[in-house]
Chains A and B, each alone.
Chain A
Amino acid sequence: MGRFVTLFQISEPGAAPLPHAKRRAVGIDLGTTNSLVATVRNGVAAVLPDEEGRPLVPSVVRYREHAVAVGYEALAYAAQDPHNTIASVKRLMGRGLADLGDDRRHAYRFIDGRGIVRIATRAGAKTPVEIAAEILRVLRTRAETSLGGPLDGAVVTVPAYFDDAQRQATKDAAMLAGVPVLRMLNEPTAAAIAYGLDNAVEGTYAVFDLGGGTFDISILRLSSGVFEVLATNGDSALGGDDFDHRIFCWALEASGLAPLSPADARRLMAKAREAKEMLTHHDAAPIVATLADDARLELTLDAQTFTNITQTLVAKTLAPVKRALRDAKLAPADIKGVVLVGGATRMPQIRRAVAGFFGQPPLTNLDPDEVVAIGAAIQANKLVGNRESDDWLLLDVIPLSLGIETMGGLVEKIVPRNSTIPVVRAQEFTTFKDGQTAMALHVLQGEREKVADCRSLARFELRGIPPMTAGAARIRVSFDVDADGLLSVSAREQTTGVEASVAVKPSYGLTDAEIAQMLQDSFAHAADDANARALAEARVDAERLVAATQGALASDGALLDAGEREAIDFALRDVAACLADGDRNALAAAVGVLDAATGRFAAKRMDRSVARALTGRRIDAIE
């Protein structure tokens, strides 16, 4: 009630900008096992708990007859209703059925759609994007209730080693859940922000992040307010879940039980997890379960056995650590501190392995479950403009090389791994037959040389190349990776200047049309008014644009000549009038005009700020 009734105070263009109220910004950690939402209040970042004071939302979604349950409520039914209760959906994001490998061990009924995997539930076939969106919706609602209104912006974290399809799927899920995403942030980087700002550290640090289903290692240099990621590596299918599974397998073998039903398997997996957690502080843990056919299982797992059966998993974390150090051209001794992130780093064998490798005990003074959400909240607070004085800068990288298929099934790398983002890189290709008018382009991500060993991201077809002799056409393929680490690819023929058309078919993602349909469906189910919501969002965007423009005019208005100033003022008045009218299409058109009118102004301002940044330095250097 009253959710969309917002009073807009529009000041006269040219008058002082509104003394802006604190904007509602959150950081969201969408985890394999648990998810969290955090915000900065009174300068302190903290996780937002539910009414019962619980900070975590178990990342479990249960599809009931006519409703969806998320979190503890869903978790409670994991064993009873295994087909309709989805846990660890993060491991399925942006994946095809063939990619799943060990993850197929889940009880779900998978349907192999075009590329993307779907799970059959009583509510119909669900994609991982839709399932993750249910979790994000709960977090958004929690934040809106706690902060007293719709969110102005959110930073959503992803594992650093997520590939493009996995990142895009996460962003799609956030969009579907109505989360206004300001930035996608790598989890270890988020942890480094929380740790670095809290402890005012300088030097080169490693962040070792072992979550429920993903492993990341990032090497960062922290120096005078700049967080620079030097290298990142990892394994996007390795986490605490795998340690549970080892215990599960050990228990099956030790008890001599036959293969279990899905419900029993869930039950035993839960017991395995409890045992793992108990072994953090104890030398032994009991595993006791009564199965559906009254078979009883009673075992004791001691710490030494646990260490032995998980040895290869621990070793699997150290290989990416070595690769990251090598890419950063550093030795273990160059690392000043190792920050542990993720619940799975509580396991003693992990701590011992990390301490042994780096020759120093890891830093554990921050809660490994909360530190990622906290870091994301700090960045969201900055991006939304709440703490302008806080002058720190984040320079992150892409984790995996991006390239294109060439002759012989080989991959030509265009953007190498660990390139600082945003990055734009282009390469020229040519035709290989006389009169060739079309070219198939296959975009890949990965480090291996052969196409078959890399991840297929998208296939393009470039049409309308004018007929030329083989090798004469110059097809310029441009890879653009934005600050979220998301790739877009474009291609055009250079010699003739002819713009060729490009059709993109994401290999493992959802198309824009599919996302639009899902949005539509979700509104229908929630009995939400899609139009009212779209108008509300358009208003928030327009208001943001007006505020940004007024702020820019106040500080840099002198850069404009009279004509330019008049065009901007006119466009501002038009947007204000449309905001008062509430016609969405007219508002969109007015915003478009304002955006165009401010283009040159934006360029002048940016030029000036670069000049100022460099001038300031040179004066410092002289002194």
Chain B
Amino acid sequence: MIDFSRNHFELFGLPRGFQIDAGALEDAYRDVQRAVHPDRFAGATDAQKRLALQASARANEAYRTLRDPVARAEYLLSLHGVDAAAETDTRLSVAFLTRQLERREAAEEASRAHDVRALSALVDEVRSEANEAGADVARRLDAAPRDAQATVREWRFLVKLADDLDALCNAEADSWGGS
């Protein structure tokens, strides 16, 4: 099998770090898939077919993780032994959570009032705050991973919130724009 003890960066032959060359990642992913994809082993032995399936799924997982900045940051933390997703670690501050809860309520209200403009303004606001958190993580993660942990969690939270509000906004726009 492609060696499971290797991390995602090693699998693709890329330097480990938050800053990543997106083009090089994509090229490496395709090269690995060209070598291991089950379509290449349709006539092979059963042992090889099983391996191809595992290796190809592994490459997909690694690519998915490294391509997405938030997932990449969490993965890097996990390589440092910090589980960013675990509930037992540093919790989000009450002030932060309260603010996001208020935003969610405001979004639901705007949705009830069919106020697409207010909704999309809210999406933009959360999105830009998420981007700031991302920039902060980018500055700190490679140098001091443990210090970046709290920010990574906030970042994940904000990106999720922005996506949820975006979906709400789209549903609203669709129900009005649909003929």
A393: Cβ under 8 A from any B Cβ: yes
Among B32-84, those with CB < 8 Å from A are 32-39, 42-48, 51-58, 60-61, 63-64
B36 interface neighbour in A183, A226, A609, Cβ under 8 Å: A609
A606 interface neighbour in B35, B39, B46, Cβ under 8 Å: B35
B35 interface neighbour in A425, A544, A613, Cβ under 8 Å: A613
Which residues of chain B come closer than 8 Å to A612, judged between CB atoms? 35
A182: Cβ under 8 A from any B Cβ: yes
- A363–chain B nearest beta-carbon distance, Å: 25
Q: With A614-B13, A614-B32 given, is the CB distance from A549 to B45 under 8 Å?
A: yes
Tell me if B48 and A606 are in contact (CB < 8 A).
Answer: yes
Tell me if B27 and A617 are in contact (CB < 8 A).
Answer: yes
Tell me if A482 and B38 are in contact (CB < 8 A).
Answer: yes
Tell me if B174 and A322 are in contact (CB < 8 A).
Answer: yes
Over the window 296-320 of chain A, the binary record of Cβ atoms lying under 8 Å from chain B Cβ atoms (1 yes, 0 no) is: 0000000000000001000100010
Tell me if B45 and A548 are in contact (CB < 8 A).
Answer: yes
B3: Cβ under 8 A from any A Cβ: yes
Tell me if B36 and A606 are in contact (CB < 8 A).
Answer: yes
Nearest A residue to B31 by beta-carbon distance? A613
A387: Cβ under 8 A from any B Cβ: no
A513: Cβ under 8 A from any B Cβ: no
| Chain A CB within 10 Å, residue with most, of B12, B42, B61, B170 | B42
Nearest A residue to B3 by beta-carbon distance? A607
B30: Cβ under 8 A from any A Cβ: yes
Over the window 598-615 of chain A, the binary record of Cβ atoms lying under 8 Å from chain B Cβ atoms (1 yes, 0 no) is: 110011011101101110
Over the window 42-85 of chain A, the binary record of Cβ atoms lying under 8 Å from chain B Cβ atoms (1 yes, 0 no) is: 00000000000000000000000000000000000000000000
Q: Among A113-121, A416-424, A434-442, which stretch is in contact with chain B? A: A416-424
Nearest B residue to A618 by beta-carbon distance? B13
Tell me if A419 and B64 are in contact (CB < 8 A).
Answer: yes
Complex CA–CA separation, A395 to B53 (angstroms)? 13
Q: Among A235-243, A378-386, A529-537, which stretch is in contact with chain B? A: A378-386
A482 interface neighbour in B36, B53, B58, B64, Cβ under 8 Å: B53
- A171–chain B nearest beta-carbon distance, Å: 15
Among A568-623, those with CB < 8 Å from B are 594-596, 598-599, 602-603, 605-607, 609-610, 612-614, 616-618, 621
Residues of B contacting A: mostly: helix
A144: Cβ under 8 A from any B Cβ: no
Which residues of chain A come closer than 8 Å to B174, judged between CB atoms? 319, 322
Tell me if B35 and A480 are in contact (CB < 8 A).
Answer: no
Which residues of chain A come closer than 8 Å to B44, judged between CB atoms? 548, 552, 602
Which residues of chain B come closer than 8 Å to A311, judged between CB atoms? 179
Tell me if A422 and B35 are in contact (CB < 8 A).
Answer: no
B15: Cβ under 8 A from any A Cβ: no
B118: Cβ under 8 A from any A Cβ: no
Tell me if B42 and A182 are in contact (CB < 8 A).
Answer: yes
B144: Cβ under 8 A from any A Cβ: no
Complex CA–CA separation, A394 to B37 (angstroms)? 9
A545: Cβ under 8 A from any B Cβ: yes
Which residues of chain A come closer than 8 Å to B55, judged between CB atoms? 606, 610
A483: Cβ under 8 A from any B Cβ: yes
- B69–chain A nearest beta-carbon distance, Å: 14
B30 interface neighbour in A382, A393, A595, A602, Cβ under 8 Å: A393
Tell me if B45 and A598 are in contact (CB < 8 A).
Answer: yes
A-B pairs, top 6 by smallest CB distance, nearest first, are A383-B42, A483-B38, A613-B35, A613-B31, A602-B48, A609-B35
Show 6 A/B contacts (Cβ-Cβ < 8 Å), sorted by A: A153-B42, A315-B178, A383-B42, A594-B45, A606-B48, A610-B35
